[in-house]
Structure formats: C-alpha cells, structure tokens
Structure 1
Amino acid sequence: MTTGLALLGLSGAAWAQGPVAGTITDARTGQPLPGATILLDGRPSSSTDAAGSFNLATVPAGRHELRITFVGYETLVQTLQGQAQAQRVSAGLQPGGVLTGDALVTAQRASDRTATAYTNLGKQDIAKRNFGQDLPYLLDQTPSVVVTSDAGAGVGYTDIRIRGTSNTGINMTINGIPLNDAESHGSFLVNLPDLASSISSLQVQRGVGTSQNGGAAFGASLNISTLDNRREAYGETSNSYGSFNTWKNTVQFGTGLLGEHFTVDGRLSRISTDGYMNRAASDLKSYYLAAGYQANNTLVKFITFSGREKTYQAWNGVPEPALTGDAGLLQQFIDNGELSAADAERVRREGRRYSYYTYDNQTDNYLQNHYQLHLSQQLGPDWNLGAALHLTRGLGYYESFRANRKLANYQLPNITLGDTTIKRTDLIDRKYLDNYFYGGTFALNYQPKNNDRLQATVGGAWNRFINDHYGEIIWARYASTGNIRQRYYFNDATKTDYNAYARATWQLLPRLGVYGDVQVRHIGYGIDGVEHSPDDPRAVKGVVDVTTRARYTFVNPKAGATFAVAKGQQLYASFAVGQREPVRSDFTDRPAGDAGAQAERLHDFEGGYRFTQPNTNLLGPNTSLRFEANYFYMNYRNQLVSIGQLNDVGTPLRTNVARSYRRGLELTGFVSANDKISLSSTITLSQNRIRDYQEATTDSTFMLRTSTISYSPSVVSAHTLEVQPLRGLRAAVLYKTVSRQYLDNSTSEDRRIQPYQVLDFRLRYTIRPVFMKEIELGLLVNNVLNRRYAANGYTYGYPGADGRQQTFNWYFPQATRNFLLSVGAKF
C-alpha cells in the first residue's frame, strides 16, 4: 500500500540524538489530519496540530518504531533511526480501518477546495492556550477576533466578535449540532465551562462560509468537534490557580478501545473565581461523557455533557467617570441615579472595579444538559452517512433585588393601612427560562474511491425550540395580595427550523477547482403572552403584550473557484448569500419609533491567496512557512446593528439599517524554524460602514452620508512569538491590538471605546518521567504591561436641561496584570 512516507536524513552517528518533525495528511486529498497520534516505540509522544504537523523534540540514538494512528485511517508503522541531524517526516495516511465519527462535522467544514477563509485548531493548539478561561479567550489570536469579559478576567460571561459581528451572528455547532440559542441566536459558553478540555478539533470560518445546520452565519462560523476516539487508555488531570482567587480543576479519563469495538471517555471540571470586578464571582461546574461502539463500517456514539453556572450579575458595567476620575460627571451620575450617601462613597472608592449591585444573591443561575446520539455508517466504497439526534434541556433564572417598585407593575393592588396607602415596595424577583431544544441532523457524503476530483454532500436538519419565560416574586417587604412565588408575567415561545443543503467540489482541471453550495431554510416562530417591561411606553400595569407570529423561507446559494498557481500556492474567490431572521429582543424590545424588525440579507464576496511550504531551507533546515491574504466585501441589506443600549438583562438592543457593508483585508502569516522558534501574525484592516445613516434626537433628525457600525474596529492584530530554548520548555509572547470602536452608530467621539494593546506571556514546561506519561507546569501572565483598558461598553441618550441630546457611557474594564499557574499530569 502506498503511504507517501518520506524519511529524510536517516544516516548519522549511532550515538547521536536529535529532533524529528513532520506533517501527516490524507493520502487521497492532501488535507492535513489534526489530532493524529504519534507513538515512538509504542509510547504516545506527540499529536498533530491543526496543520497536521507534529514534533518529537529528541529521539534517542538507535532504531525505533514510529507508529502513526488516526481513527478512520490505516495505521502507518515505520522504522526510525535516531541521529544528531534534524529529521523530517511527511506521511499520507490511507483511509480505512474503523470509521471516524466526524462525518457530520466534516460535511460542514471548509477546506482549500471551498474557497473560503478559515482557521483550523487542533487539540494541541487548544490545550496550550487553556488555563481555565472561556473559549473566546482561547481564540483571541485568530484573525479578526475581539474578545471581552463582563467580570474582566475571561471567566464567566464572555463574548467574541469576528469582523465586528457579535456571537449572535456566529453560527456555533458542537459535532454538527447547533449550539446557538434559537431565540437570541447567542452562544452562551458560560453554560459549558471548560468545554475546551473536551475539544478534539475546531474550525473558525469567517464570512458566510459553508452551509451549516442552525442559524445563518453573518460574521463567522465556529465548528467544534469532541468526537475524538483514542485507541489507548489514558487518565489526565489539569489544575490551575491564579489571580482573583481563580481555580480550575479538571479530571479526564478514557478506556481506549475495549475488545476492538467499545470506548468510554469522560471529564469532570470545576472553575471558580471572584472576578476582577467587585462582586463578579463565578462558580462553574461541568461534565462530559461519551460511550461509543465502532466496527469497520459503523460507529455509534452517545455523548452527554452539561454545565451549571452561577455568576454574580456584572452586565451593568462601570459608569465612565468611575474610570476617568471626572468628579463633575461622577456627581452627575450620583445625582441622576439618586444614589444614597453610602453608594456614592462606594462608587468613588471602588473606581474602575465598581459594581452597581450589592444584594448578596444578585446572580444568574442556569443549568444546561446536552444529549447527542451519533451514527456514522459506511455505505459502500464511495458513500458514508453521518446522522444525529439531539436534545438540550435548559433551566435557570436571574435573581434580583428591586428597590421601591410600584406594586401595580407587578400585578398587585395598592395596600391601604388606615390613612396610609402603600404603592411601592422593595422586593426580590426571579426571571426564569425553561426550555427544550431537540431535533435531528444528517449528512450524506460522496467521494469516489478511485477519483478524488469530486466530493459532494447532501445534508439537512429539523429542530424545534420550546421556551417558557416567566417571573416570580420570592420576597417583598409589602406583599399586598401576593402569594408565595407570585407570578407577575408569563409568555411562551416556539420556534421550528428546518433546512436542507447540497454542496460539491469538482476539480475541473489539474489546477482549477470549483465549488457550489445551496441551502434552503424555513423558520416558524411564535410568542404568546406578556413580558415585564414597566419602562416601555406600551406597558399596561408593567407588562407588554409580546405576541408575535413570524415565518421566513431563505434560499442561500454559494459558489467559488480555486486555482493552483504552483505547488503550495493557491488563488481563490467565492460568493455567498446569507439571510437571517431577527432575534427575540428585536421583536420584544424595539426602540421607540421603530416600525418593526426585518430579516437581514448579506452578499459576501471573498478572495485571496494562500502560500504553504511545510519544509523549506529558507531560514535553515526544517523551516515551515504559511501566508494568506484574504479580501472580503460583505454587503448587507437591513442589517440589524446594535444601537449601543442594553435591556434590563444585558441584551444589546438593535435596529435595522437599510444599507451597510464591511470590507477589508485579512493578512495571516506563520513561520517555524526547526520547531525551535515560531512566529504567527495576523492583522485585519477594514471599513465597516452604514450608508445614509439617520439618527433621531430630541430636537431634530439629521443624516450622515456614512457612519461607522458600532463595535467594529478598523484594525485588529494578533501576534505570537514562541521559542523552545530547552527540551520540553516553551515560552510565548502574545500581543494583541484593537483600534477605536464606537458604542453606537453615530461615529461620535464622545461615545467610543479607546484603542488598546495587550501583551501576555505564556510558559509551559513538559517532562516525561518513567512513572507516568507526562507532567506539565504552566504559567500565563495576562496584561504584562498592566494596561488599564476597556474592551466593551454601551451608552444611553437622554434630553439635557437645554433640550439637547445628552449621553452617558458605561464600560467593561478588563483586568490589570494577573496570572494563572497550572499543573497537569497524564497517565
């Protein structure tokens, strides 16, 4: 069997020892295989990263057995001779053996044939970033990404934006199953703490990307796979401690293959922190369990994972003068908010770490259980099927203390005591979510065994989401006629979403390939009942009728072409259409004067150049080079953009703008010299504009020819320099820059987030003693230069004393210099 294995430089002194590096690919398609296991003399010694690359820092003198395994491919075994000179291995694995569980995931992933912009991360790439911070922070060095944390240190509620689009426009899937909340379109990763420890591979697609199950991508797609099948039994633990009393404890295990057919894998995790902001603690727990059966043509896998989170509410942020020290503006905040003397003293004392809330249980509490049943089935030599059933159960509430609230706004009558009428009371309420999300997905993949020029997929999904929203009073100083757990509003929502797609890549000529993809998606959405919103002009006794009926049918075509300029060099171009329905808050929390939410439409043009040289002598032996330049033009109709304000549970309010666009250039480069030093760098230069933007004020309406879209920086860059000065010791410097962002769409210098630069330092030291596989020590120092910056914020407008529109800004400060220490062990 031809494997494409080339072992270079095998001659040398028998007494010497030296490094061995290499790249593992699919022998038929040439695509890299991230997560392949590299065994030296039967001992797991490395695994491939997102580019299919691996490194053995030192191979002792003498003859050794090099074994390369990857589920779904034939195992490759080769003799290797240790020597002083660096060696390079290039191997192409042949499909075969047991089936991989990634049929659903692979069907939705981009490749060099799909003419789109994407980034792959393997298990190793994710692990070296993982000290316990949320997944967005592990993606901070990928192109066009901006991350932020409500509590300031990357644990708890975090958010990610790609090309200026928040996670409501980022399609996230886990093993091909939609993760985005069906109503809000958000992916609340706080509900899945330490998910990163169970990820086997991950792909970020920028732009519309390929057709996927779930909501349409309006900025990017994040495709996560946990379907790692490890043949050898293992046990691992990872523990971190750091600033703000942050703890992470993780235990993982796997049985390996039992009787050549069965596998069981599991994980338990706990993460807790006090948070950088005052009263912004998080207590997060999760588990992951997978049990699988596999034969030559069949794989069945049941996966369940769950997260329970309790976080102190930090979504209010910090008023601007608490950051700037502007005494006059701070006094204005104190007066407008009618703060008590104690609260006024507290905001002056706490400054940028100020928290508005003081009630000891002002918390967000949520439990989310996921269940997935996957089937991968080989259907003859040219076809395979991936299918899955899924159920997600979510239940939780926000608990809040409310001071001096009108009884009438909680559906309660006033209280008369003698000559006194009590109309207001202090109370504690809970706002509940109680939901089920279930459905099925499938992908039928075709690739002729004797013809790698054609690849095709037909897939689709049917999903239903049922969600009850309601509020209860659990305590009141004056309860009026209220009962225990007095319910003061209720509405239920149902959403049905089904889609079908077909896609194919065809290598027309040796150098020219084409790609086509079309998705048809139908959505039906309904809300019945009332929402508590006493400040809404439409409110009657504190509630607003939010009954809604909406139906949409979208057809989203995509097409692209690739041209091989030379070996390792490619030009590509693509066009894609994306359409997306409004989210719940677009219906229930419309700004005053807004006529109603409309569906968004996006025409996405992408084009670029890729250069890959995995083994050159440009900078010395075993130099790897990668470079990509990608141009994008995303032209929107009726884009829903943030207006800079939040509702009472921290959700950004949005409005449609008729015409807008995002266009820019993404440059990404990577160079590695003999695995001793590497540099990765990415920079995005963009324009994000609204055409003919109109802003209503209290005294007039004016037009701007163009306006910058809120939360859309024009320059984002990330750079990582990593060195290996000693065997097993890796040190990295990570530098991030984000240019100015505006809090709303007015392009007002009074409503902006200042540009910032952040420098982090990472150190990992690995040893392999005889009594266990590995011990690893790690150190992460965030914000080494101790910058005081904010990565997010919002603004409110109100009429001033002179009748002119005034604004007041709130920000989410990020932590000053802080650290995380980790100790890991593998058995």
Structure 2
Amino acid sequence: MVRCCAITGRVTRWTYFCSASCWGECTFGCCLRLNLSCMKQSILPILACLSAFSAEAQISQTTSDTTRTLPDVLVTYQADKLTPVTFQNLSGSLLKARSVGQEPSFLLTQLSPGVTAYSDAGSTQGYAYFRLRGIDQTRINTTLDGVPLNEPEDQGAYFSNYPDLFNSLSRIQIQRGVGTTQNGTASYGGSIQLFSSSLLDSARATLGGGYGSFGSYRVFGEYASGLRGRTAVYARASHLHSDGYKERSANTSQSAYVSGGLFYDRSSWKLSVLAGQQRNQLAWLPVPDSVLRRNRRANANGRENDHFQQALVQLQNQWQPTTTTDVNTSVYANGLRGGYDFDLNTFLGLPATQELYRYDFRSEGAGAFSTVTRRTQRLTWTSGLHLSTYRRRHLGSERTAGELYRNTGYKREGSAFSKLEYRLGQFTTFADLQGRLVTFRYAGSVDMAPLTWRFLNPKAGLSFAATENTTLYYSLGRTGREPTRNDIFGGNDDLLADTDGRALVSNTRAEYVTDHELGVRHRRAGLQLELNAYYMNFQNEIVLNGSLGPNGLALTDNVARSYRAGLEAVANWQATHQLSFLTNAALNRSRIREQSESFQPILTPAVLFNQEVVYQQGPWLVAVAGRYQSRSYLNFANSVAINGYALLNARVQYAWRGWELTVFGNNLTDARYFNNGTVEEDGTRKYFVQAPANYYMALKLTL
C-alpha cells in the first residue's frame, strides 16, 4: 500500500514509470552498440538482458563482502540549504504521483512558480514548450546528471525526444535566475537539473498502463535490482500514443533508460543509456481566430509529419581519495537523427499542391566534465572543467526537386569554474566564477567567418541562518549567452548571401543579464515556506518579436534595455495527517524600453497562481488543483493580448497492496482558452488552442 506525504513525496513503496526505446545488438555488460532502428521492438529483450546481468551479479556476491558503498554518483552543481540562490527541489515521487507520460512542461507549470507552457497539438503529449519568468526554454539550462540536454546550435531542450523521462528521475532541482554554474547553455533565466533514478533503491518490478481522452494511452515496464554485492542495475521502457486534440496531430513515441553501477569503498561507477524516438503529425502553426470560431480543433498545418530518434550515453565516476575530498568525472556522447516536412503553400495561406519540403538533421556530440570538491567544517570549495564538441548536418529537399542544399554547423565549448561556500557562525558567504569560451563554424554554399564568444560569469551571495529552520539570502550574478543559429541566420536553415555574395548574418551579439535575488526559506516538519524577490536587468536582450521566419520558426529582435522583476512564493503545509495544501505563485513586472517607448515582453503574464488541496485517508487519495494565469501580450505594441484563464484539475487514487489506480480529470470547468499565438503584419490573430475537459485513467502493479 502506498503511503505518501503530499509535501515531501516520501513513500514506503513506490514505482518509477519511465520511457525509452530499445537497444539492438546489445547485451548489457558486453557491448553498448546503439542501434536506433531497433526502437520499434519490444522492451522484453531489455528486461531479460538486465535480469540476466543482475542474476550473474547475485551469484558472484559473497557473504563476506563488507564493502562500504558510496552514495550514487553525485553531481556537484546543485544548491543546498544555505546556498544564497533561489531554488526548489522536487522529489521523484512527487513527480510520479502526477505524471502519466505527459510532456514535462505541464508538470513544471503545476509544481513550480513562474512557469508557463503550451503544446502544439493542444493536448499534453507531443511537442510542448515552457517559459520561466517569461524567458523561453532556449535560455534555460537543462541537464541530466550534469550532462547538457540543450541542443547546442539552437539551445532548446527537447523533452519530447525522451518521452516519459520524468518518470525515472529521483529528483529535480530548479534554480530560478542565474543560479550556480552549470554545464552547457548559459543559465540565463534559470536551470533545471534532472537526476536519474538511484541504483541504490530497493529491488522492484513495475508494470502499468493508462488510457484517456483523445485516444491517449501508455504502457510501461520498469525493473530495479537494488544493490547486490557491489552491483546494481535499473531499466525502464515506455510506449505512448495520443491522437492529439487538434485534427491530425497524433504523436507516437517510445523511450528506454538503462543504467548499471559498481560500488566500491572509495569509488563508484555508473553507466547510463537513454534513447527515444517519436513520430508526429505536425501542428506547430497557430490557427487564425476566424477559423477557430468555426472549428476549435482545426490544424493550420497540412500533411506534414516528422520522425526523430535521439540517444545519450554517459559514464560517471565518483572517487573519494580522502574523507574530505570528492572527485566526480563524466564522459558522454549523444546523437540525433530525423527530420520534418514543411508545406510552404499552407504556411503562406495558398492552395495546397504536391510541393512538400523536408528538413533533415543528423547530429553528433561528445563531452567530458570533472569536478573536485574539498570540504572542511566551514568551507566547501568546488572547481570544475567542461569540454564539448558538436556538429549538426542540415539537409533541405523538396519531394520532386530532390536535394536543395546541405550545410553543417560545428560548435565547440570549453568552460571552467570555481565556487566556494564559507560558513562563519550564522553566515554563509558564496562566490562562483565561471569562464566560458564558445566557437561556431559554418560549412555551406556561403562562406561565413567563424564566430567566437567569451564570457566571464561572476556570482556572489550571502545567507544568514536566522534560526535552525529559517534562512535569509541575497545574491548577485551576471551571465552572458550567445545567440542561437536561428537568431544568427534570421530564421533560415540555409545561410543566404547578399548581391555581393557575402553572408547575410542577422545577429551575432551576445546578450547579458545581471540578476539580483533576495529571499527567505523556512522549513520545518509539515511546513515549507519560500518567498523571494528578483530583479533581472538585461543588456541587448534577444526577445520574440511575434513573427515567424521563412521556415516557420519564431523570429527574435534585440532590445537595448529591458528588465524583469517580481515576487515568487512556495507554501506547502501538512495541516493534518490527512490534509495538505500545496501552493505556488508568481507576480511579474517586466518592461522593454526602446527609445521613448516602454512595453511588456511577449508571453509574460503578470500573475500566476497554483493551489492544490490533497486529502488522504487509508488507501484513498483525493486532490483538487486550481491554476490562474493572467493575460499576456502577443506583440511588441501590446495591442493584442491572450486573455487570462483559470483551470480546475483533480485526481482520485486508490492503492491496494501492489496495485494503484488513479483517475485524472483536467480542465473540469471546460475552459476554452489559448496560451500562445502570433499576430500577422495584416493584423490577423492566430492562436494555439488548448484542450477542453479531458480525462485519463492509470493503473500500475508493483511486484
């Protein structure tokens, strides 16, 4: 029977549903040759392979083994209780209680302040996107066990390529603002650190599935051996499908995650493989409001589809040469294959023809990072290095004309940092300095000089432990971020040339932010209170201008002066043994100044509020959650807005022995709302419609 605290998410028995696709020509422990084409196969070979490996490990275990095992491999970039930055920890069990395979963006809107999200298909599967403090996800650093997940050229983190990923996480730390140093893309608006499932959890096997509105379903399996002697292994796999709320917006995807570890007295090793694939009927174009008045499920896209496969391999090592020193090292490699169709006539509003364009991508990347942490009674000092290399081939074609162009982008990055926290009485001082060097080189039909950006990112802060349960803090940090490939090329996939043959480069200037964070944290049994204020002052900020480029991607402009300021709060209260309240809220005041004009940034609502009430009695759990999002603007002129809206969601859960049945109801008031869109030059308003009332039922068995 599951017993779960609604605030901490701790359970006496729980399961992990995750997803991943399959590995061909691979047996765990012999070869790790990735064969992405095998992802259509069953998950059973994976589970059988891991069971065999686990059994072999159990046979080799001796009763005289008294090995003192280290904890799972640690990543030393996260903040802790006294670090003077704004952060929030989310437990894996808290995520799993709400997750049925939907895009993680929607979970973040419920659990963390200042997050907005929307989906292409209107439902919660397929492509979805999020913003933090009004800042889009290309400027939010995302890592998994320290490995950067942001695609280096365009800096987006595409959770859809790893469907159901959040169901195999042990925890998440969300840092808002520049936070502490992270690997990869700059933590411009914040960072999301994902931590994989712990290999040291107790042994378990879980099977489950679910079905809901719009033909949505999921099946999954999970196996964990627990620690057996010095070894442990974990695997999960999922298959998901949804027809989508919009017409012709289906998503079918699979993913798999496999990891194994060796644990010794002073060192531990962990090898992880994550892979996923997805197929979508595309729905990424907003729909004119005149069409939506006739048919809210209309899809502005034509007969376009996509297919992507992506994989990530990571080898981690933790070494403890002394009781006060930790060395953490990882090497990783990733790859992506796939592409999507583009119906230019539909995009331009012209009658459809047989003409159909195709954008195909093939990318490979590799990297390594290492940190050394020294701890004394008062001092924690960490220094680290990260190096990565990446290339991505772009190929454009048309169905009848064949190949039109091909080009390749090469991006390399090197960074080093050192940070320390020093405790003196009730005070903790914090300093963090990162140097980052980024280069981009382009090879195509148009010559373009290589680009180089150099950043020096300092951060400092002070926290005061007023009581054992209460901490006050202030931090000041500055970071810079290079533009994306899409920013540099003005929305073109193939670089254009002017009449003299010179490259038409739109923007190569970096943007910078100086971030002030002031807050208080109060935590005691049954109560968690967090309140913070922030002021982010931008230089040369790259912001959406509300228009789409020649291949349908959103365009940006630079603005000389802008700022974002606000208040954020988290309040979780376990009122009684049965009753708890979970609250988060954000107030935002943001302005862009151009000459004598002042206006609000696009897609940045001033008020966000989430409230969930959870009642648990015996095997029953009932939760009701509400969300309010105020209006936001679609254009620089602030003349077109998306109206504010309120949503009401609920879930009912019954747990009996190893069985757990949960019914989810979303948008129970059947609100008809939009949360993203564009404005055309002729004034036409186009929106992304989101789903009305919908339901989902999930069942799982833990053995």
What's 1:10 paired with? none
What's 1:7 paired with? none
CA distance in 1, matches of 2:117, 2:10: 30
Q: 2:569 aligns with which of 662, 667, 674?
A: 667
Matched, 1:500 2:384: no
Give runs of aligned pairs for residues 46-61 of structure 1, distance below 5 A. none
Give runs of aligned pairs for residues 400-799 of structure 1, distance below 5 A. 400-401=342-343, 426-448=354-376, 451=377, 453-473=378-398, 475-476=399-400, 486-509=402-425, 511-530=426-445, 545=446, 547=448, 549-589=450-490, 596-614=507-525, 624-692=526-594, 703-704=596-597, 706-724=598-616, 726-748=617-639, 751-768=640-657, 774-797=658-681
CA distance in 1, matches of 2:6, 2:417: 37
CA distance in 2, matches of 1:234, 1:595: 54
The alpha-carbon deviation at position 356 of structure 1 amounts to 2.3
Q: Name which of structure 1's ranges 548-557 and 225-234 shifts more when overlaid on structure 2.
A: 225-234
- SS of the aligned residue for 2:109 comes to coil
Structure with more relative contact order (C-alpha pairs < 8 Å, separation 6 or more): 2
CA distance in 2, matches of 1:21, 1:790: 34
Give the direction of change, closer, same or farther, for the CA distance of 1:746–1:673 in structure 2 (3 Å limit).
same
Q: 1:352 aligns with which of 292, 296, 315?
A: 296
- SS of the aligned residue for 1:213 comes to coil
Q: How many residues align?
A: 637
- SS of the aligned residue for 1:190 comes to helix
The alpha-carbon deviation at position 217 of structure 1 amounts to 1.3
Say whether the 8 Å CA contact 1:597–1:655 is kept in structure 2.
Answer: no
Q: Name which of structure 1's ranges 778-787 and 604-613 shifts more when overlaid on structure 2.
A: 604-613
CA distance in 2, matches of 1:595, 1:273: 38
Say whether the 8 Å CA contact 2:624–2:651 is kept in structure 1.
Answer: yes
What's 1:281 paired with? 250
Matched, 1:101 2:72: yes
What's 1:814 paired with? 690
CA distance in 2, matches of 1:21, 1:738: 27
CA distance in 2, matches of 1:404, 1:155: 24
Give the direction of change, closer, same or farther, for the CA distance of 1:45–1:182 in structure 2 (3 Å limit).
closer
Give the direction of change, closer, same or farther, for the CA distance of 1:139–1:238 in structure 2 (3 Å limit).
farther
The alpha-carbon deviation at position 117 of structure 1 amounts to 1.1
Instruction: Mark the runs of 5 or more structure 2 residues left unpaired by the alignment.
Output: 17-66, 493-497, 499-503
Say whether the 8 Å CA contact 2:207–2:702 is kept in structure 1.
Answer: yes
The alpha-carbon deviation at position 250 of structure 1 amounts to 1.0
- CA offsets per residue over residues 36-65 of structure 1, 9 Å max, x none? 885xxxxx5899xxxxxxxxxxxxxxxxxx
The alpha-carbon deviation at position 218 of structure 1 amounts to 1.6
CA distance in 2, matches of 1:526, 1:296: 45
Matched, 1:184 2:86: no
Give the direction of change, closer, same or farther, for the CA distance of 1:36–1:764 in structure 2 (3 Å limit).
closer
Give runs of aligned pairs for residues 82-121 of structure 1, distance below 5 A. 97-104=68-75, 107-121=76-90
RMSD, matched Cα: 2.4
What's 1:220 paired with? 190
Query: TM-score if structure 1 supplies the norm length?
Result: 0.74
Say whether the 8 Å CA contact 1:391–1:438 is kept in structure 2.
Answer: yes
CA distance in 1, matches of 2:430, 2:463: 8
CA distance in 1, matches of 2:457, 2:94: 33
Give the direction of change, closer, same or farther, for the CA distance of 1:654–1:140 in structure 2 (3 Å limit).
same
Give the direction of change, closer, same or farther, for the CA distance of 1:650–1:764 in structure 2 (3 Å limit).
farther
- SS of the aligned residue for 2:181 comes to coil
What's 1:292 paired with? 261
Matched, 1:380 2:350: no
- SS of the aligned residue for 2:684 comes to strand
CA distance in 2, matches of 1:320, 1:297: 63
What's 1:536 paired with? none
Give the direction of change, closer, same or farther, for the CA distance of 1:403–1:718 in structure 2 (3 Å limit).
closer
Q: 2:241 aligns with which of 254, 272, 278?
A: 272
The alpha-carbon deviation at position 807 of structure 1 amounts to 1.8
Give runs of aligned pairs for residues 1-12 of structure 1, distance below 5 A. none
CA distance in 2, matches of 1:792, 1:496: 33
2:212 maps to a residue whose letter is G
1:357 maps to a residue whose letter is N
2:456 maps to a residue whose letter is V
The alpha-carbon deviation at position 718 of structure 1 amounts to 1.0
Q: 2:129 aligns with which of 139, 147, 159?
A: 159
Give the direction of change, closer, same or farther, for the CA distance of 1:548–1:191 in structure 2 (3 Å limit).
farther
Query: TM-score if structure 2 supplies the norm length?
Result: 0.87
1:611 maps to a residue whose letter is H
Say whether the 8 Å CA contact 2:622–2:651 is kept in structure 1.
Answer: yes
Q: 2:337 aligns with which of 395, 398, 411?
A: 395
Say whether the 8 Å CA contact 1:401–1:428 is kept in structure 2.
Answer: yes
CA distance in 2, matches of 1:159, 1:22: 27
- SS of the aligned residue for 2:188 comes to coil
CA distance in 2, matches of 1:743, 1:402: 23
Say whether the 8 Å CA contact 2:271–2:314 is kept in structure 1.
Answer: yes
Say whether the 8 Å CA contact 2:464–2:472 is kept in structure 1.
Answer: yes
- SS of the aligned residue for 1:807 comes to coil
What's 1:619 paired with? none
2:460 maps to a residue whose letter is A
Give the direction of change, closer, same or farther, for the CA distance of 1:296–1:227 in structure 2 (3 Å limit).
farther
Give the direction of change, closer, same or farther, for the CA distance of 1:561–1:321 in structure 2 (3 Å limit).
same
- CA offsets per residue over residues 256-292 of structure 1, 9 Å max, x none? 223x111111111011000001110000111111111
CA distance in 1, matches of 2:692, 2:353: 40
Matched, 1:136 2:47: no
Say whether the 8 Å CA contact 1:730–1:765 is kept in structure 2.
Answer: yes
Q: Name which of structure 1's ranges 176-185 and 581-590 shifts more when overlaid on structure 2.
A: 581-590
CA distance in 2, matches of 1:722, 1:685: 25
Give the direction of change, closer, same or farther, for the CA distance of 1:490–1:646 in structure 2 (3 Å limit).
same
2:700 maps to a residue whose letter is G
The alpha-carbon deviation at position 794 of structure 1 amounts to 1.6
Give the direction of change, closer, same or farther, for the CA distance of 1:404–1:686 in structure 2 (3 Å limit).
closer
CA distance in 2, matches of 1:565, 1:364: 54
Matched, 1:316 2:285: yes
Structure with larger Rg: 1
Say whether the 8 Å CA contact 2:415–2:435 is kept in structure 1.
Answer: yes
Give the direction of change, closer, same or farther, for the CA distance of 1:263–1:589 in structure 2 (3 Å limit).
same
Give the direction of change, closer, same or farther, for the CA distance of 1:191–1:45 in structure 2 (3 Å limit).
closer
- CA offsets per residue over residues 358-400 of structure 1, 9 Å max, x none? 42xx112110011111111111111111111111110101124
What's 1:195 paired with? 165
CA distance in 2, matches of 1:714, 1:707: 13
Say whether the 8 Å CA contact 2:396–2:405 is kept in structure 1.
Answer: yes
- SS of the aligned residue for 2:296 comes to helix
Give runs of aligned pairs for residues 186-265 of structure 1, distance below 5 A. 186-258=156-228, 260-265=229-234
Say whether the 8 Å CA contact 2:483–2:508 is kept in structure 1.
Answer: yes
